[in-house]
Amino acid sequence: MIEIIPAIDIIDGKCVRLSQGDYHQKTVYNENPVEVAKMFEDAGIRRLHLVDLDGAKAHHIVNFKVLERIASSTNLIIDFGGGLKSDEDLRIAFESGAQMVTGGSVAVKSPEIFYSWIEQFGADKIILGADVKNEKIAVSGWIETTEIDLLQFIGDYINKGITKVICTDISKDGMLQGTSIDLYTKILTSYPNLYLIASGGVSSIRDIETLETNAVPAVITGKAIYEGRFKLNELNRWLH
């Protein structure tokens, strides 16, 4: 059964969503992310993907106080990402209540730091963020694209011990036009034991069903919930 993981993206302490990672295409959905997190928990959600978009842009953790408030106000299992570039950032994230962290840009630009995190904390706590455009890795809040091949990138980190990957197709993210199912199928064909978390493009319950049919282990969804494309109680079959 596919795991449903709602996303809360934070800018200026508020719950927002971007379109295709564009900071100029921002919609504020709630001034208080704690309210949103409690709504998810009340619906039976167990996991939360919390993204510090200010941190991604600033290259260091920024919205750790929001993380702290959500962690202290709910029992959600939180994975936190955005701007984690140093051991100090990681320390702050864990001390603020994250049970897991997601590293994307740091895994590209400072692999030795990311390797050390995997060794120190283990694959249960460290998730690889693979943000992709045309099957090439993108970094720094998706502002910068690279020539790094997605499958090679994932494979290299599986060899280092990574077991969980969040893969976001930037072209799909926030567009409500469906997921990159062909891309996820390609990844799982190459790495069938990977705990792949699909991210970007969910527009309906049918998209989630399609991912599940294709054996994708987990999915992150945000805008579809905020825009009312489906109600949280429609997720009940996967939550209980």
Q: What is the mean pLDDT, run by run of 10 residues, along the chain of 240 residues?
A: 97 88 84 97 98 93 98 98 96 98 95 97 97 88 81 98 95 79 97 97 96 98 94 93
Q: 9, 52, 89, 207: which is the annotated catalytic residue?
A: 9
Structure tokens at 190: 């190459």
Q: How many domains does the chain have?
A: 1
CA distance 8 to 204: 18
> Considering the entire predicted model, what is its pTM?
0.94
Q: Which residue has the tokens 């997190």?
A: 37
Residue 79 known to be catalytic: no
* Residue 195, strand partner residues: 164
Structure tokens at 177: 């036009």
Q: How many CB atoms lie within 10 A of CB 154?
A: 22
Q: How far is CA 163 from the centre of its chain?
A: 15
Q: CATH number of the domain at 62, please.
A: 3.20.20.70
Residue 22 known to be catalytic: no
* Domain of residue 173, residue span: 3-239
Pairing of strands 195-199, 164-169: parallel
- DSSP letters spanning the chain: -PEEEEEEEEETTEEEEEETTEEEEEEEEES-HHHHHHHHHHTT--EEEEEEHHHHHHTS---HHHHHHHHHH---EEEEESS--SHHHHHHHHHTT-SEEEESHHHHH-HHHHHHHHHHH-TTTEEEEEEEETTEEEETTTTEEEEEEHHHHHHHHHTTT--EEEEEETTTTTS-S---HHHHHHHHHH-TT-EEEEES---SHHHHHHHHHTT--EEEE-HHHHTTSS-GGGGHHHH-
pLDDT value of position 114 = 98
pLDDT value of position 174 = 65
pLDDT value of position 18 = 81
pLDDT value of position 19 = 74
Q: 131, 169, 173, 207: which is the annotated catalytic residue?
A: 131
